[in-house]
Amino acid sequence: MSAMWLVWRMWGHVILGAVLAIPVALIAAHLLARARESRGHPHPARTAYADVLMVAGTAP
């Protein structure tokens, strides 16, 4: 077996999970920003994306 195949067998599920989590995180951040904007938060998009991406970056 090649070294690349061994790496994929060990880490493929982690890589796939991280890639699939990106669109979900962006949608969640957008929805959170809209909710914060309707409540009058001073910087809704910046804080929503920071909160969601901080969690999504540590998920896998």
Residue-wise pLDDT tens digits, 9-43: 999 998 898 888 889 999 999 999 999 999 999 99
How far, in Å, CA of 28 to CA of 22, rounded? 10
Above 80 in pLDDT, residue 59? no
pLDDT at 60 over 70: no
Domain of residue 39, residue span: 3-58
Q: Residue 32 and residue 38: Cα distance in Å, rounded?
A: 10
Say if residues 29 and 53 touch (Cβ distance below 8 Å): yes
Q: In 10 A of CB 52, how many CB atoms?
A: 20
**Which pLDDT score is estimated for 21?**
87
Q: What is the pLDDT of residue 6?
A: 93
Helix or strand or coil: residue 55?
A: helix
If one counts the domains in the chain, the total is 1
pTM for the full model?
A: 0.74
Least confident among 2-6, 38-42, 55-59:
55-59
